[in-house]
Amino acid sequence: MSTTRRRRPALIALVCLAAAGCMGLAWWQWTRYESISGSFQNLGYALQWPMFAAFCFYAYYKFVRYEDAPPQPVAQQTEIPAGLLPERPRPAAQDDDDDQAMSEYNRYLAELAKSDAEKKDRTDR
């Protein structure tokens, strides 16, 4: 006998306790709705909590079904099929004019950095 089957009475008690708690909260929200300060939000919660209680029983039902006949494992894919993902963008072709202008600008920035470093060395002395 599996350990989960031995624990089944405890699980049933837990599910019943959780469902009873949800129904208690539904009753509390219903009384809040009927009070003077109640609003439609309380009514919504009062209708929502019984669904949570039903979900407790549904989850237990699915748990027992998976325990009796677990789902079959799906074959693992080892490779992504070609054409599934979009192609990576390719870098745009650069003109020689852009490269020349960029290299001139980089040289200018290097000269500025060098002159700033020389000025800093003179002032630090």
Task: Considering only residues 62 and 122, tell me which one the structure prediction assigns the higher pLDDT.
Answer: 62
How far is it, in rounded angstroms, from Cα 115 to Cα 4? 77
∠ CA 32-27-22, nearest 5°, is 125
pLDDT tens by residue, 24-82:
999 999 999 999 988 999 999 999 999 999 999 999 999 888 888 877 887 777 787 88
Do residues 63 and 33 lie in contact, with contact meaning Cβ atoms separated by under 8 Å? no
pTM of the model: 0.53
Buried b (16+ CB within 10 A) or exposed e, 13-33: eebeebbeebeebbeebbebb
Listed by start position, the domains of the chain span 3-68, 96-125
Q: What is the DSSP string of 29-48?
A: HHHHHHSTT--HHHHHHHHH
Structure tokens at 42: 């309380």
∠ CA 97-101-103, nearest 5°, is 115
